[in-house]
Amino acid sequence: MACSTTMSFSLKFFSSSSSSSSSSSSAKNFNVVRLTNFSKGTNSLKLSSCQNISGSFSPSILAVNKLSVSQQTPTFTVFAAKGYKLKTHKASAKRFRVTGNGKIVRRRAGKQHLLGKKNTKRKNRLSKIHPVDRADYDNVIKALPYLKVNRLAK
């Protein structure tokens, strides 16, 4: 399972203006503070695990805008997903290879033992590598997730 972490910040600061004659009681004004991005230095966001988020940032006032009550305040969202490393099926890794063009190839069966009763032509045919059928590509790729396969190779 992969876990993810989401943080949202929304800050509102009410300004007290002394000019009550120009503003009505139904339309209030807000000052909005926007947070800067995480710096690339030492204060960068560090995700060491799904439950531990360390890092610091300092809010700085980039722009002070006047917004009415009907408008929505902007939010600052950080989304981080941590996936797990997929395991390679070791028996499949010994049986399949990828060519330079990205095709999956395999050896033919029947060349391990009882070779005395097989003729030379048959043994030579069984020695050669054989391309894997397209119908089996999905199964091989699931077993070998880090195999560099070109599905469009012919």
Task: Summarize pLDDT for 87-129 with one digit per residue, the tens.
Answer: 999 999 999 999 999 999 999 999 999 999 999 999 999 999 9
Q: What is the rounded CA–CA span in Å between residue 47 and residue 120?
A: 60
- Name the pairing type of β-strands 53-54 and 46-47: antiparallel
Helix runs in 1-154, H state only: 90-95, 120-127, 137-143
Residue matched to tokens 């330079």: 100
Q: What is the rounded CA–CA span in Å between residue 48 and residue 20?
A: 51
Q: Is the pLDDT of residue 39 over 70?
A: no
Q: What is the mean pLDDT of the chain?
A: 74
Average pLDDT over residues 139-150: 96
With b for 16 or more beta-carbon neighbours within 10 A and e for fewer, the 79-100 pattern comes to eeeeeeeeeeeeebeeebebee
Instruction: Give per-residue pLDDT as tens, 74-83.
Output: 777 776 677 8
Q: What is the rounded CA–CA span in Å between residue 37 and residue 33?
A: 13
Burial (CB < 10 A; 0-12, 13-18, 19+), residue 144, is: buried
Give the domain ranges of the chain: 90-143
Q: Is the pLDDT of residue 45 over 90?
A: no
Predicted local confidence at residue 83, as pLDDT = 85
Instruction: Give per-residue pLDDT as tens, 1-30.
Output: 455 555 555 555 555 555 444 444 444 555
Q: Is the pLDDT of residue 131 over 80?
A: yes
Cβ distance 128 to 108 under 8 Å? yes
Does the 90-143 domain belong in CATH 3.50.50.60?
no
Predicted local confidence at residue 126, as pLDDT = 98
